[in-house]
Each structure stands twice: as C-alpha cells, then as structure tokens.
Amino acid sequence: MNLAEQFPVIDRHVWLNHAAISPWPAAVSRAVADYVEDNARRGPLGYGQWLDIEARLRERACRLLNADSSQDIALVANTSTGLNRIAGGLDWSSGDSVVFPANDFPSNRLPWLALADRGVKAHAVTLNDNDPERSLIAAIGPSTRVLSVSSVLYDTGLRLDLKRLGDACKRHGVLFCIDAIQHLGALPLDVELTGADFVVAGSHKWMMAPEGLAIFWSRPEAREQLQTLDSGWRMFSDPFNFEREYPCSPDTASCFEPGTLNTAGIIGLNTAVDLLLEHDPGATAGRLLDLTDRLTEGLMKIPGVGLASPLERDRRAGIVSFWISESSAEEVTASLNLRDIHAATRGKRVRLSPHFYTPMAQIEQTLKCVADLAARRKG
C-alpha cells in the first residue's frame, strides 16, 4: 500500500484524532464520490450493485471479527443504536443488574442507566489501576445479566483483556457486550476468542469510513434473548413481499434493520474494511503500537508532562493521553492545533490518537512541540 497516496491527509496535517473522526483513505473517498456521481447520472439504476456491495460488506465484517456468518451482522446507524437495541431488547426482571466501567463513554452507560424504571440496577464500576478486569469481574453477582465494556476506553485508551472478561461471563452465565468503536480497525478482534455475545463498532473512527453506520454482530443464542423492538419491511429475507400482514421477528441479525440502509456509508465502509483486511489487521496493530510506544516513551521523558494512559504495550491501542502541569488541556490542545497538530481534549487530558499510516516523523514533531509547550510553562 502506498501510504502517501492512500492517505493524502499526511501531506497537509498531523492528524492525531482518529479516536474522534478519521480522515477517509483516498480509496474510500473515491468509492463514495463514484456513488454520488452515479446517483446524479442515473439515479438508483445501480441498486442491484449496491445490494451486492452491502452483501460484500457483511462478509468482510465477518472476516474482520472472525465471525461465522454474515447473518449475524446487522448494519445500524451508530454504536449507540446497537447498544440501545441490546439494553432495550432484553427481557429484564426487576432486580436484575448490569455491570459496566464507571468512566466509560456515555453510549455504554446511559442505555443501562435508563433501565432504572424497569427495576434494573446499573453497577458502574471504578476500575482498579493495576487490575481493571478484577474490578469488573468482582462486581458480577447472582443478579447480573450483562457485562458491557468499551474494549478500549475513549479517554485513557486502556485496553481491557477481553478473553479474561469473556471467560468470567461464561462462568457466571452473563451476557458479554463489547463496544468496539475504539478498537475495531486499530487492533484485531476475534469474537470466538473473546467469547463475546454482542459487538458494536461505528465506522468513522479506526475503520476510517463515513459517519452514520456501525457493524453490530450478535451471537445467535444471545440474540434470541432479545425482543425485537423494530418492525419494518427490510428485515425479512423477502423484503419485496409488501403483502406481509403480521409483524414477526426474523431469527437473523436483520431483525435490527427495519428499513432502508445508509448506502453511501455502506459503500465507504466496504472499501475501508477491504483496505484494512488487505493491509492485515496484525500488521496494522503492530505499526500503531510502535507509534503509541514511541509517544509514551517520549512523553514520559518530558519534564512537567504526566501520562494518563497505560505504559504497557499490551494495555494500549491507538490512544495516548497526557497533561502538562500548570496548563489546561484546552490550552495545550489549542496550541497544538495552531501548529496543525490535531488532538482532542478529553476531561483534563490531551488525547493523541495516530493511526497505522501516521509517519513516525509526525510523532517526533508532536513530541518536540509538547516539549516546547511544557518548557514554556515552566519558564
């Protein structure tokens, strides 16, 4: 892969904000532009081809997740929608409980907290720095129905040990739900190895595709435990049977897809996942971890800089968060921005998130810039 051609953003900007929204690879923008052009020239005459691309995306999503069947893949509007379908669809009894990290992104807290009026207790767990999985597993009790985690936390970038959590869920008969939006596209994810029951991941971060689409994988036995909240024409294997009179729920993941899908997003994501598979998820992860290793090591050496992210390589993915003492995170992010280094403020920290294609020279440039800002503060 010619990285300079595929990622023209590197010519113009230091983009260290993939944990928010990624620039699109050239192939993705070409595929979406072709779709736009085609629509203008001949409307939806290409509909059959769009359906073929949709089917290819489901197959590719399976390969990315090491999942068995594309019938277990639903395409939904975003990560939050998938998580809501799970939280809202389970047949809860008053007194049931759900466990999740207290500092997780709102999308993996609010749908569980919203179940309070059904008598469901939300157990928001403060993660122990040395053994975060132990805190989550210890919170599982006889009333627990679901453990739901972001596999990579959006602020510190902590990567959880999914196999350990999945094994514990199996032992306790608890459903295991993974929000993988900060993971999929950055690191490999294997639904079998992790013992996941549900995985949801939006397209616009590490998968580098348009916004407004998410891959939602569900294990059939887990899916059976959900009531389908939706009814619509497109969830059936014969969607053009418009005479259907009774709502019923198909036993495939298309039960989450009642109506017309986001074709522009599907075309973009299909190309993006193709690129990720072609590059090899293992190689992508290796290169990304080399970059976050270097950021970690470099930041640690700068006087006045503190690190909020894990130091160990196997605890990280694509996020490194830091602060400069006596400076606000907003000020530091704004100063980096002025130098065309694009980061994000999350809480009191500055979050850096390169992707595998980011040149090492841009990491060095960023470290130098942070060192200058830290020195200026102290002086």
Ligand X SMILES: Cc1ncc(COP(=O)(O)O)c(C=O)c1O
Chain positions contacting ligand X, by CB under 6 A: 78-80, 105, 107-108, 150, 154, 179, 181-182, 202, 214
- Residue 108: CB minimum distance to ligand X, A: 6
CB of 378 to ligand X, least distance (A): 32
Residue with tokens 């979406």: 32
Residue facing ligand X at closest CB distance: 202
| CA separation for the pair 218, 342 (Å, rounded) | 35
Least Cβ distance, residue 320 to ligand X (angstroms): 15
Least distance between ligand X and beta carbon 181 (Å): 5
**DSSP track, 100-113:** EETTS-GGGTHHHH
Q: Which residues pair with 329 in a beta bridge?
A: none
CB of 197 to ligand X, least distance (A): 17
Closer by beta carbon to ligand X, 9 or else 214: 214
Contacts of residue 14, Cβ cutoff 8 Å, sequence gap at least 6: 339, 340, 341, 342, 358, 362, 365, 366
Nearest 5 degrees, angle CA 25-CA 29-CA 32? 140
Q: Which is nearer to ligand X, 105 or 236 (CB)?
A: 105
Q: Which residue, 80 or 271, is less far from ligand X as judged by CB?
A: 80
CA distance 190 to 212: 24
Tokens matching residue 290: 């080399």
CA–CA gap between residue 113 and residue 116 (Å, rounded) = 6
Q: Which long-range contacts (CB under 8 A, 24 or more apart) does 196-199 make?
A: 196/162, 196/166, 197/169, 197/221, 197/222, 198/82, 198/86, 198/222, 199/65
By beta-carbon proximity to ligand X, the closer residue of 137 and 160 is 160
Nearest alpha carbon to residue 83 among 214, 263, 260: 214
Smallest distance, ligand X to C-beta of residue 154, A = 3
Whole-number minimum distance, CB 51 to ligand X, in Å? 24
State which residue, 127 or 305, has the beta carbon closest to ligand X.
Answer: 127
Nearer to ligand X, 107 or 335 (CB): 107
- Minimal distance in Å, beta carbon 60 to ligand X? 19
Give the residue from 87, 146, 86, 147 showing the smallest Cα distance to 117.
Answer: 87
For residues 115 and 68, is the Cβ–Cβ distance under 8 A? Answer: no
**Residue closer to ligand X (CB basis): 324 or 342:** 342
Residue 26 or 110 having the CB closest to ligand X: 110
